[in-house]
A and B are shown apart, each in its own frame.
Chain A
Amino acid sequence: NAGVTQTPKFQVLKTGQSMTLQCAQDMNHEYMSWYRQDPGMGLRLIHYSVGAGITDQGEVPNGYNVSRSTTEDFPLRLLSAAPSQTSVYFCASSYSVVRTYNEQFFGPGTRLTVL
């Protein structure tokens, strides 16, 4: 199993550009999520999905879109990049939020800089 994979590892954008961060998992997990991690702020939930075709907003959704057309893939789209979106982005997955034993598996992260 590859686990959770993310591409790209690094990205530099100019203000106003759009891009998609890719996330895939091969563990047949129902739940997938996107976080951003900023110094002193910890991990903050952007969007999440409890299954294919179902997505919802997390704590900091503004400026980001997601879709979940398959169980495996959960891309994150930046519509019009802003310097405030400079961060490290992590994708995570787990079997199900409601399972009793419910660890999240994280990808390696994407370091995004917006100039």
Chain B
Amino acid sequence: SQKIEQNSEALNIQEGKTATLTCNYTNYSPAYLQWYRQDPGRGPVFLLLIRENEKEKRKERLKVTFDTTLKQSLFHITASQPADSATYLCALNTGNQFYFGTGTSLTVIP
């Protein structure tokens, strides 16, 4: 079955720094990979999608890279703010099914 690993359970960084989160997967080559944000007690919210033929995607302070050879996606938040504190999930699909990583909890310290 598909296995998705996110780099660490928790990441603490200083405000203004760049946060980098890692998503590694095995056993399949997805057509695209998604990143979501989840706040405590709430459902995940979609942030970005990157396709297999795209190396990089940007949206405001967010940047996602996708290396299908390494089977890895990196998620960057530049100029981080305390409001960016949340859990970030990566997800990929195989056919009609989606698989999610366990998430990385990010805390941005003022």
A residues at B contact (CB < 8 Å): 4, 31, 33, 35, 40-45, 48, 50, 56, 58-59, 90, 92, 97, 100-109
Is B7 located at the chain interface by the 8 A CB criterion? Answer: no
Contacts of B45 on A, CB cut-off 8 Å? 106
B residues at A contact (CB < 8 Å): 1, 4, 32, 34, 36, 41-46, 49, 51, 89, 91, 93, 95-103
Q: Is the CB of B49 within 8 A of A101?
A: yes
Q: Which of B43, B96, B103 contacts A42 (CB 8 A)?
A: B103
Q: Which of A50, A102, A106 contacts B44 (CB 8 A)?
A: A106
Q: Is the CB of B96 within 8 A of A59?
A: no
Given contacts A59-B1, A100-B51, A103-B34, whether A45 and B99 have CB atoms under 8 Å apart is yes
**Distance of A64 Cα from B91 Cα, bound (Å):** 23
Q: Which of B1, B4, B43, B93 contacts A97 (CB 8 A)?
A: B93
Q: Which 8 A-B pairs have the closest CB atoms?
A: A106-B43, A103-B46, A42-B102, A43-B100, A42-B100, A97-B96, A106-B44, A90-B43
Contacts of B91 on A, CB cut-off 8 Å? 43, 104
Assuming A35-B100, A43-B44, what are 11 further A-B pairs, CB within 8 angstroms? Answer: A33-B98, A41-B102, A42-B4, A45-B99, A48-B97, A59-B1, A97-B95, A103-B46, A104-B34, A104-B91, A106-B45
Q: Is the CB of A104 within 8 A of B96?
A: no
Q: Taking the nearest CB of chain A, how far is it from the CB of B31, in angstroms?
A: 9
Contacts of B99 on A, CB cut-off 8 Å? 45, 59
